[in-house]
Structure 1
Amino acid sequence: MYARNLAWMLCLLLAGVGAGGYAWVTPDFDASGLPRVLCYLLLGGAGMLSVFLFPRFQRRRSVVFAIWIPAILLRVVLLPTAPSDDVSRYLWEGHLVSEGISPYAQTADAESLRQYRDAQWVQMNHKDQATAYPPLSELAFAAVVSVAYHPLAFKLFFVIADLLTLAAVLRLLQVRGLSLQYSGFYALSPVVLIAYAGEGHFDALMVAALMWGFWAAAVGRDKWAVCFVSLATGVKWITLPLLPFFIWGQRKHSGESTFLNRVYRRSPYLLLSLVILLLPTIYFVPSLPALFAGLFKFGGTRSFNGPIYDLLLLGIGLPRSLCSALVMFLFASVCLWRWHEREQSTLDAHGRWILGALIVLSPTVHFWYLAWILPLVCLRPSLPWILLSLSSAVYFMVWSNDVWGLSLLQRFVFWLPFFTALCYEWWSTRGRVVLPCQRPRDEVVTVSIVIPTLNVADQLLGALQSVSAQSLMPCEVICVDAGSRDATLKLARQSELGVRVIQSEQGRGQQIATGVAAATGTWVCILHADAALAPTAIEQLSRSVRADPSVCGGAMGQRFEQAQAELLPIELLNDARALFTRTAFGDQVQFFHRDTALRYQLMPRQPLMEDVESSWRLRETGGFLFLNLPCEVCHRSWKASEWLTRFRLVMRLVARYRFVRLSSRAQAEALSYRLYDEYYNQRK
């Protein structure tokens, strides 16, 4: 069997062992933390690796089954895990509401509620504090209690919501032209699996409504988008800053020439949102003031594991009130900045920034808070958040410490990988990860295919056939030849694609740059002669760049035409490098926005490392997108018996180029000529 399939199934099996182990070592919610940490890491590491090992399937139905079946099975395996003590509060307060008693009117330890004390009341935390759950959540708790007064009822309810989130993520990936396997960053995340199927946190309801709101907005159903996000806000207040983006912040429609005009035309959306938010409060009107008092006490008088808040409070020693004011100011600044950029970025980009800022700036950060943002990470995989979803395993050490909480070292383990990766992203993109270059949003997307050639008659036909088989045809195919003496030019001119042949000086970078300059499409896709495009490559590229104006280029992906176990690590490293460091090799099929490529000279005219250099120039200019849409490449240069030698050679040359590139582009370009001679001399 294909090595990738075997490795994928092995990773899923290990993830299942991790999930089963976590359920087994957590018969009680306060069970020892170290076994939970180890099982969490096994589940998370194997699950994340399985995303990169996702097999190639011929039919879309097989892809969907390969995503859904492991996702469902892992959740079923985790259901026996001891639920969080929060579930006891859901049960008890839901019972109160079903009896016509407001949980806001008094705290859980009030004498007036003595007759309702039961086993769930005993297991509740913070009985002396007022509840902070919104009215819509309380009504949802009562609805579940009316079906069954048992923790498993809540778990099943939340897992259904969790799976609805996965369905929304898959829909969004399809709309955006991205690889469906990215959904694994949510579906197989230990944060999500343990938070919902394991511990039973109600955040699953909020996230499901929010993600369907993003989907509705993506397909132009604005009213449904407002409804869904309003429901999400009614379940948990944290999505409130996103509501204005759905009501007023989306793209202008006909007749909405000014912001004031848009406010007027979209006032029915505001009314619709207010109805959804206020309707559930009618049931609790007399006791609502106590709800706001509870919210203030919850958010302003306690803290746990908030990196910025703890730095201000414990590191600098500022008063708690000043710490709260500072983080509120920082969060408001992020929201205002995103509002200023509301028409320049996608809604999911605003969501990532706002929810991400909320997590980082919050005084209290529990591990399951990360589940708020992970569905959006699937739309733009992010190394910092994926690392945090794994390093958050240390959270469970709170049950092994002498005092409930994380030590300073444990908090460093929790947050350091995240902030280190953030610093890397800022440095490697020169800040463009925050402020990417913007393309014209309404520009018509047309794609030119540029194929650099030199004596490739035995390979070119396969590349041209893959272009002919596209579900969406390119506007042109350009063959940039550097003096072929075989039948290369004859094959190109005889192609039914009407290939345009132009001449260039020798050198792949020189040829590609010439082809980009000659192209007439708004986008240029660089296809090597020994590669073959996936059948839907151009269609998905067009869909992706239309959806996100910050994308200025990227890569599609690569698989070797012959499946060899020795070459699997190469494929994995190539995917991970392109996805997390925004660095692609030429055989991963690079693509560029033509005007941006010309304006910023993204393609250097150098003989070697032109692909690496163009990737770095691109990420320093604008958004880099890795579609993870594998295109097949010839494996002959990666012989099974010599792959390790070639791998060491490539890595050594790239490292030398990277070191010199730190000094200047000019020195790196000069080095590329020496590396060219070294590379091809050692390949002979």
Structure 2
Amino acid sequence: MTVPDTNFDDILVIIPVLNEEETIGTVIHSLQNLGLRQIRVVDNGSCDRTAHTAHTAGAEVVSEPIPGYGRACWQGMQNIPEHIGWILFCDGDGSDDLSVLPQFFAERQDYDLILGNRRARPDSRSAMTPVQNWGNGLATTLIRWGWGHPFQDLGPLRLIRRARLEQLNMQDRGFGWTVEMQAKAAEQKLRTYEIPQGYRPRQGGRSKISGTIKGSVQAGSIILSTLAFLYGQHLQMLFAKSALRNHPVWQWVSAVLLIAGCAMIVPYGDFTQPGMVPPFWRGVSVMGLGFVVSWILPQVSKVWFWMVAIASRCILLPMHPGNDIWRYLWEGRLQNLGISPFEFAPTAPELVPLRTEWWSMINNADISAIYPPITQLGFRGLAAIATSTLLFKIAFVAADLGTCWLLQRRFGSLKTLIYAWNPLIIYSFAGGAHYDSWFILPLVWAWLCLDTQPRRATRTIAGLALLGVSIATKWISLPIIAFVTWTFVKQRAWKWASISVLLPVLPMLISALPFCSLTSCPLIPTSSSFVTKGRSAEFLPIGSLLSAPEWHNAILLIPLAIALLFLLWRSTQVGDYTESYLGTLLLLSPVVHGWYFTWLVPFAVASGNWGTRLVSLSAFVYFALPHRESLGISVWQLTTSERVWLWTPFVLGWLWSWYIRRSQTLFNPSPGTSQ
């Protein structure tokens, strides 16, 4: 039987505080009543009387003016007396039930780290906010996956042996302090024990973390990014011991990096604010690393596939969207007021009384609607429910996950990671809120229907109808009709050739009826300079090469038409043609946005195209444009070096994939072909 230890002179209590004047005195007195006399309060920049109250209550007060929970804890660990063998960390807001501490002290002989588990008791768990419960559950789950240790909570109440704490070599100076301690404790095999503890809402002051959305997002981002960093170090150690190419650890690494990267970019979505893009790039780099790791996975279960696909998108839903969404909201709202967005630009004098508080954020406000009719009807339907960015994002993510489902059913979970765990896909729809997922879903569905062998009448009709929906959602699907028709013409299937021309046009015609009359159908503002002369991140710098830069974009239809004729001649499958056509379109397009490359990603699931894989990472160079604009530089064109960084991986990867496919054809000809 263990004899309770009643000598607490070797325990130093460290309490980091920030504006806890109302509660710190009570916390100190509670600790003193338990026999603790060496109490050090670290004032982390309070602007109230917290320090004075703590000193009056009998605590030692040290100052750490630079903000950061971990920094305050670290400052509290400096100049510790030699006789101190244990350190107790707790909060100063009065939320922890300190009466559990005698149980902590009773376990000191058997353990190195003793933690309070708020989630073990129903009353304590219910006192925590949903954000706290979800975040702690996610973080401890990731620690269990990564290090194999079943922690239940990341609570602030913790007692640790001084020698072991120094052994951990704590590095985090922010809110990742607690998770770093537990992850390193698991890695270094410290003897740990969790004790159920009471917990209540803070007894005074204002929470810096769970009390605000911004604080919760930042804390979650820090915790996940800390785990990602620590896991990277953990992997280095594992690599030093053995080759892990086929180890399931890679599945964990990829998932953790993707989730952590998503959490890191959430606070940095408003690119109109200076300084947002560099930290956005850092988070995207973490996502990109997770994506690259997924390329070497030998297998992935459906559970992992969907868990990461859904979680990564859900994390980005609170992110500030791209500025396209304000036009979506505006045009949906106009339709519900009985006004066609094709008739009036947002700046039209007739619409001045209808302007909203977010009207100024609409991009290219002097241009009337350019989105096809089915898209407009989708905006109208959503706006009829609410002009909410979150609602629109959910609609875009739903279509995106629908594409995941179609591809996963056809090609399996492992191949579909190119789409489902793709950082460009995840950001573009869940974070940036671009509507392109609406056109990708019917396009992919049409492709899978039309390329299925043997072809059946019902499936072919469904594929043609879905192709029509895709066209009426985004015009660029239109040339695919030519290929499908040509395949029937080559087979002399004249009836199907006729159907393949007429059926895809019907969705566009039907959906255009609300916007057109017998005399007018202004679906594209062809007179706009944005349409005729706009340029941004184009691959071919024609505007810079020509002596008269005000050239008309229509000139590029000539090389595009030639390329399409070549593709008609060489392609044999709808998927192959569509991938090649979209790649060519992007290479020739004068206006290219980063999320345009998402059009190609579904087809890379089948082809494994390296150009698409690599541009899913390099496309984020595009965000140099909003970064410069936020700094007051209004030139909306990438520099030559930026275009090189964006396009070179795409072109080289595409050429490499073409070379590999050509080599496979030459050395492994299909049955029946001559050599």
Measured against the shorter chain, the TM-score band is 0.5 to 0.7
Q: 1:8 aligns with which of 251, 270, 277?
A: 251
Contact 2:325 2:434 in 1 (8 A): yes
Match of 1:369 in 2: 596
Pair 1:20 & 2:263 matched: yes
Counterparts of 1:473-484 in structure 2, within 5 Å, are none
Pair 1:321 & 2:539 matched: no
Match of 1:285 in 2: 516
Q: 1:49 aligns with which of 286, 290, 293?
A: 293
Match of 1:36 in 2: 280
Match of 1:378 in 2: 605
Shift of 1:232: 0.4
Q: 2:439 aligns with which of 206, 222, 226?
A: 206
Shift of 1:319: 4.4
Name the SS for the 1:83 alignment partner.
coil
Amino acid at match of 1:419: V
Pair 1:299 & 2:542 matched: no
Paired with 1:277 and 1:291, the residues of 2 have a C-alpha distance of 11
Paired with 2:386 and 2:366, the residues of 1 have a C-alpha distance of 26
Amino acid at match of 2:604: V
Match of 2:40 in 1: none
Cα deviation digits, residues 213-238 of structure 1 (max 9, x gap):
01111333110000111000000101
Name the SS for the 2:344 alignment partner.
coil
Contact 1:245 1:347 in 2 (8 A): yes
Paired with 1:96 and 1:67, the residues of 2 have a C-alpha distance of 40
Cα deviation digits, residues 83-142 of structure 1 (max 9, x gap):
111111111110111121101111111121122100231211111112211111111100
Shift of 1:378: 0.8
Name the SS for the 1:293 alignment partner.
coil
Counterparts of 1:72-87 in structure 2, within 5 Å, are 72-87=310-325
| Change in CA separation of 1:408 and 1:319 when aligned onto 2, cut-off 3 Å | closer
| Change in CA separation of 1:193 and 1:249 when aligned onto 2, cut-off 3 Å | same
Paired with 1:419 and 1:28, the residues of 2 have a C-alpha distance of 28
* RMSD over equivalenced CA pairs, Å: 2.5
Cα deviation digits, residues 343-379 of structure 1 (max 9, x gap):
xx21111011111111111101111000001000110
Amino acid at match of 1:303: R
Name the SS for the 2:614 alignment partner.
helix
Amino acid at match of 2:589: S
Counterparts of 1:195-274 in structure 2, within 5 Å, are 195-219=428-452, 220=455, 221-246=459-484, 248-250=485-487, 261-274=492-505
Cα deviation digits, residues 365-407 of structure 1 (max 9, x gap):
1110000010001101111221111112222222332424333
Match of 2:371 in 1: 133
**How high is the TM-score relative to the length of structure 2?**
0.58
Contact 1:132 1:298 in 2 (8 A): no
Contact 2:612 2:654 in 1 (8 A): no
Paired with 1:288 and 1:263, the residues of 2 have a C-alpha distance of 33
Pair 1:158 & 2:396 matched: yes
Paired with 1:172 and 1:288, the residues of 2 have a C-alpha distance of 43
Paired with 2:569 and 2:299, the residues of 1 have a C-alpha distance of 42
Shift of 1:274: 2.5
Shift of 1:29: 5.4
Name the SS for the 2:387 alignment partner.
coil
Match of 2:406 in 1: 168
Contact 1:96 1:103 in 2 (8 A): yes
Paired with 1:421 and 1:163, the residues of 2 have a C-alpha distance of 26
| Change in CA separation of 1:182 and 1:204 when aligned onto 2, cut-off 3 Å | same
Match of 1:147 in 2: 385
Higher relative contact order structure (alpha carbons within 8 Å, sequence separation ≥ 6): 1
Q: 1:421 aligns with which of 645, 649, 653?
A: 653
Contact 2:450 2:463 in 1 (8 A): yes
Name the SS for the 2:522 alignment partner.
helix
Shift of 1:51: 3.5
Paired with 2:648 and 2:559, the residues of 1 have a C-alpha distance of 21
Match of 1:668 in 2: none
Deviates more, 1:201-210 or 1:64-73: 64-73
Q: Runs (4+) of structure 1 moved beyond 6 Å? A: none
Paired with 1:181 and 1:74, the residues of 2 have a C-alpha distance of 17
Paired with 2:409 and 2:667, the residues of 1 have a C-alpha distance of 23
Name the SS for the 2:566 alignment partner.
helix
Contact 2:336 2:384 in 1 (8 A): yes
Shift of 1:294: 4.3
Name the SS for the 2:472 alignment partner.
helix
Name the SS for the 1:378 alignment partner.
helix
Q: Structure 1: which 5+ runs fail to align?
A: 57-62, 174-178, 438-549, 555-591, 601-684
Match of 1:682 in 2: none
| Change in CA separation of 1:289 and 1:595 when aligned onto 2, cut-off 3 Å | closer
Contact 2:445 2:463 in 1 (8 A): yes
Amino acid at match of 2:513: I
Contact 2:516 2:522 in 1 (8 A): no
Contact 1:304 1:363 in 2 (8 A): yes
Identity in percent: 24
Cα deviation digits, residues 30-66 of structure 1 (max 9, x gap):
452111112112112212312322536xxxxxx3222
Pair 1:337 & 2:566 matched: yes
Name the SS for the 1:390 alignment partner.
helix
| Change in CA separation of 1:113 and 1:325 when aligned onto 2, cut-off 3 Å | closer
Match of 2:235 in 1: none
Paired with 1:263 and 1:297, the residues of 2 have a C-alpha distance of 41
Pair 1:350 & 2:577 matched: yes
Shift of 1:326: 4.2
Paired with 1:52 and 1:213, the residues of 2 have a C-alpha distance of 30
Name the SS for the 1:321 alignment partner.
coil
Match of 2:9 in 1: none
**How high is the TM-score relative to the length of structure 1?**
0.58
Cα deviation digits, residues 516-568 of structure 1 (max 9, x gap):
xxxxxxxxxxxxxxxxxxxxxxxxxxxxxxxxxx95667xxxxxxxxxxxxxx
Match of 1:648 in 2: none
Match of 1:408 in 2: 640
Contact 1:34 1:396 in 2 (8 A): no
Q: Structure 2: which 5+ runs fail to align?
A: 1-147, 149-243
Paired with 1:391 and 1:150, the residues of 2 have a C-alpha distance of 31
Paired with 2:248 and 2:391, the residues of 1 have a C-alpha distance of 36
Contact 1:172 1:218 in 2 (8 A): no
What number of residue pairs does the alignment pair up? Answer: 420
Name the SS for the 2:320 alignment partner.
coil
Contact 2:331 2:341 in 1 (8 A): yes
Paired with 2:317 and 2:374, the residues of 1 have a C-alpha distance of 25
Amino acid at match of 1:275: L
Match of 2:113 in 1: none
Cα deviation digits, residues 130-169 of structure 1 (max 9, x gap):
2211111111100011122200010000000001111121
**Considering only CA atoms, is the larger Rg found in Structure 1 or Structure 2?**
2
Contact 2:471 2:477 in 1 (8 A): yes
Match of 1:503 in 2: none
Contact 1:26 1:82 in 2 (8 A): yes
Shift of 1:71: 0.4
Paired with 1:269 and 1:392, the residues of 2 have a C-alpha distance of 34
Paired with 2:655 and 2:496, the residues of 1 have a C-alpha distance of 42
| Change in CA separation of 1:27 and 1:422 when aligned onto 2, cut-off 3 Å | closer
